[in-house]
Structure 1
Amino acid sequence: MSLASLKARIDRLPQPSYRLQVGVAIAVVATQALIAMTGAIVRVTGSGLGCPTWPECFPGSMVPVEHPEYATLNQWIEYGNRLFTGLVGLIAGAALVLAYLHRPRDRRYLRLALAMPVGVVIQAIIGGLTVRMELLWWTVAVHLLASTVMVWLATLLVHAIPRDGRPAPAGTPLLYLPTGLLVGILLTGTMVTGAGPHGGDPDTPRLDLPVETLAHLHAAMLYTFLGSLVLIGLWLRGTTNPPWRRYRVLLAVALAQGAIGLVQFWTGVPELLVSLHVLGAMCVIIATASLWCGVRRTARETQPSVAEQPQSA
């Protein structure tokens, strides 16, 4: 079968429903967020080198095997994270197929959908390099930061799905300040992780900076982020149809994340709270991206059309 013939057959397939496209896109967001959390579980349980090679678990074996230097539980925790990556990739691929079958094709929607499976492949490569470099703190940081980018793009994907034959609105971005501060929170958070006790393996070298100082810097970024949300709230009061629900969700999630971080710091960084803190970070990203899309939508909807704009004399 020629490529042109295959393309013609695909083009004759029925268009997927809006509900199906949204459902799969939401599944992409959920799996991208959960893979970050499972990665944190690998780290806090000291299972990062449970499978000491990549893509194999052990030389000559794709699955865990009995080994005197590696506990069986640690092997399966790391291997389970790798298996979950396969599920993330399948759902990302499904989102791309649905975006391709959508008619008429929307370039932004298709590009975001394409970024999902491509991002999974890139993440897998980064994960492999992280293992091969024996979990150096900055490789773990890059691995986590790549997940944050994927979660952001996946959230944009949900809001980019056209409906009723109309493209999704995309106006001028108005949330640069809190988004930039969120980037700062994530960067300082990975530094706290790099200097902290949970490196994925007891013998992994840590970032040689005082954890307490980094934690205070990380907290200061969060406080500034919350302050920026207050300013955004004041600004939204002067807009038409402001997305208050998304704003309240973001504010609640950010406050909850801050509370988890404080308790985590006061209680000696327990493993459970570390994993929940990573999941909370993903939720803050999702809520911020959702508000971003809501404000973009409102900005576009309130812009006068060409026909409505006053004509010059």
Structure 2
Amino acid sequence: MALKSLIARLPYPSRSVQRAIAVAAVVAQAGIGVTGSVVRVTGSGLGCPTWPQCFPGSLVPVAHPELETLNQWIEFSNRLLTVVVILVSALAVLAAWRVQIAHPERRRALRLAWAMPGGVVLQAVVGGMTVLAKLEWWTVAIHFLVSTPLVWLAVLLVRAFGEGDEPARWLVPPLAKKLLVTLVVAMWAVLIAGTTVTGAGPHGGDPATHRLDAPIEVLAQVHGGLLVCYLLVLAMFGLVLMRGGTPPAVWRRYAVVWVVALAQGVLGSVQYALGIPEALVSLHVLGSALVIVATAALWCGCRDRGPVVPAAPAPPQSPELTTA
């Protein structure tokens, strides 16, 4: 395969390079969601009213009497950030592929790496649908929710670059494992409920966008109630861990989840009490990404796949040594 032979000629990425690329993937996948929220709260969602062009016949913003120039460039800048995500995703694939060529057993990191550009393609399709649907609230919700598993997978990629490829061995008791799975389900329930609050809220991306016709007070209570459920499961998980034998690294990750989740809950309450100011909306979206990152890191820390392979393949022995 010509492409594989070309990649095999690339320098073998060091551990630090592998980790840096994977961390960049986490930042890129989370960051595109945050910048998307900036587009929404500034009412710039239709600054580029067509897709994939910004205007019919133009890939870039053009003067238009019905559109503010600033709104056009905010939306266009968010589209340009997709290029950054694509570049980071391509680097992740190249690094994982180069490692897999040297160590054929290391397929898991490559599969996770391929999810990055695959997710970009999916996000591009959903983003186009969102624009063509004139930012209907449910399309915006899907656009956001598609990015959440990509953030999760990027965290798993960070871990995959730094561990072996043995079958996963759980470091926590079976009950804790079940609670951890429940915690992940609860996390996504909180995220989904949050999109309904956004759908009924004042920031739709464009003043003329249709909003979810439901009482935002009720939706916010459901969203908050699910967060409480998430925290209760997190607390029960910690109680099970107290039975002993839990590695210190798991406890550290567990503490980080508490800090991030509580901060996100406080931020959401303040945001609602103040009438959902624009800046706090974007901070809340950032907080949701951090909750995903922290929960995914806890998930990874509760499993062990053995030591990572050597940083580079061992050099072949000389014929003299092999025949001696």
Q: Same fold (TM over 0.5)?
A: yes
SS of residue paired to 1:203:
coil
Q: Conserved in 2, the CA contact under 8 Å of 1:162 and 1:168? A: no
Matched residue, 1:296: 303
Matched residue, 1:124: 124
Q: Please give the residue correspondences for 1:226-237 in structure 2 after superposition, counting only pairs within 5 Å.
A: 226-237=231-242
Matched residue, 2:174: none
Q: Conserved in 2, the CA contact under 8 Å of 1:161 and 1:167? A: no
Q: TM-score, normalised by structure 1?
A: 0.91
Q: Conserved in 2, the CA contact under 8 Å of 1:178 and 1:229? A: yes
Q: Conserved in 2, the CA contact under 8 Å of 1:161 and 1:168? A: no
Deviations 1:127-149 (A, max 9, x none): 11100110011000000001111
Q: TM-score, normalised by structure 2?
A: 0.88
Q: Provide the C-alpha distance between the structure 2 equivalents of 1:296 and 1:181, rounded to a whole number of angstroms.
A: 20
Q: Provide the C-alpha distance between the structure 2 equivalents of 1:9 and 1:274, rounded to a whole number of angstroms.
A: 45
Q: Provide the C-alpha distance between the structure 2 equivalents of 1:42 and 1:151, rounded to a whole number of angstroms.
A: 20
Q: Conserved in 1, the CA contact under 8 Å of 2:55 and 2:62? A: yes
Residues 283 and 218 (structure 1 numbering): CA distance in 2 closer, same or farther, change over 3 Å?
Answer: same
Q: Provide the C-alpha distance between the structure 1 equivalents of 2:141 and 2:118, rounded to a whole number of angstroms.
A: 20
TM superposition shift of 1:168: 6.6
Q: Please give the residue correspondences for 1:228-247 in structure 2 after superposition, counting only pairs within 5 Å.
A: 228-238=233-243, 239-242=245-248, 243-247=250-254
Runs (5+) with no aligned partner, structure 1: 302-313
Q: Conserved in 2, the CA contact under 8 Å of 1:57 and 1:79? A: yes
Q: Structure 1: which amino acid aligns with 2:109?
A: Y
Runs (5+) with no aligned partner, structure 2: 171-176, 307-324
Residues 168 and 156 (structure 1 numbering): CA distance in 2 closer, same or farther, change over 3 Å?
Answer: farther
Residues 294 and 169 (structure 1 numbering): CA distance in 2 closer, same or farther, change over 3 Å?
Answer: farther
Q: Provide the C-alpha distance between the structure 1 equivalents of 2:269 and 2:14, rounded to a whole number of angstroms.
A: 44
Q: Please give the residue correspondences for 1:173-192 in structure 2 after superposition, counting only pairs within 5 Å.
A: 174=178, 175-192=180-197
Deviations 1:88-125 (A, max 9, x none): 11001100100000031412111100000110111011
Matched residue, 2:311: none
Q: Conserved in 1, the CA contact under 8 Å of 2:108 and 2:165? A: no
Q: Please give the residue correspondences for 1:83-122 in structure 2 after superposition, counting only pairs within 5 Å.
A: 83-102=80-99, 103-105=102-104, 106-122=106-122
Q: Please give the residue correspondences for 1:1-313 in structure 2 after superposition, counting only pairs within 5 Å.
A: 4-102=1-99, 103-105=102-104, 106-163=106-163, 166-167=164-165, 170-171=168-169, 174=178, 175-238=180-243, 239-242=245-248, 243-297=250-304
Deviations 1:19-60 (A, max 9, x none): 101100000001111110000000000000000001000001
Q: Provide the C-alpha distance between the structure 1 equivalents of 2:188 and 2:6, rounded to a whole number of angstroms.
A: 44
Residues 290 and 250 (structure 1 numbering): CA distance in 2 closer, same or farther, change over 3 Å?
Answer: same
Q: Structure 1: which amino acid aligns with 2:55?
A: F
TM superposition shift of 1:224: 1.0
Q: Conserved in 2, the CA contact under 8 Å of 1:49 and 1:200? A: yes
Runs of 4+ in structure 1 deviating by more than 3 angstroms, as ranges, are 171-174
Deviations 1:150-189 (A, max 9, x none): 11111111111155xx437633555111111101100100
Q: Structure 1: which amino acid aligns with 2:232?
A: G
Q: Structure 2: which amino acid aligns with 1:245?
A: R
Moved more, 12-21 or 50-59: 12-21
- Residue correspondences, number: 294
Q: Conserved in 2, the CA contact under 8 Å of 1:148 and 1:282? A: yes
Q: Conserved in 2, the CA contact under 8 Å of 1:24 and 1:95? A: yes
Q: Provide the C-alpha distance between the structure 1 equivalents of 2:223 and 2:241, rounded to a whole number of angstroms.
A: 27
SS of residue paired to 1:16:
coil
Q: Conserved in 1, the CA contact under 8 Å of 2:7 and 2:97? A: no
TM superposition shift of 1:237: 2.0
CA RMSD of aligned residues (A): 1.5
Q: Conserved in 1, the CA contact under 8 Å of 2:25 and 2:92? A: yes
Q: Provide the C-alpha distance between the structure 1 equivalents of 2:6 and 2:277, rounded to a whole number of angstroms.
A: 54
Q: Provide the C-alpha distance between the structure 2 equivalents of 1:41 and 1:201, rounded to a whole number of angstroms.
A: 12
Q: Provide the C-alpha distance between the structure 2 equivalents of 1:11 and 1:226, rounded to a whole number of angstroms.
A: 47
Q: Structure 1: which amino acid aligns with 2:281?
A: V
Q: Provide the C-alpha distance between the structure 1 equivalents of 2:262 and 2:166, rounded to a whole number of angstroms.
A: 30
Q: Structure 2: which amino acid aligns with 1:190?
A: T
Deviations 1:173-223 (A, max 9, x none): 551111111011001000000111111011111111100000000000011
Deviations 1:55-107 (A, max 9, x none): 00000110011100110000000000000111011001100100000031412
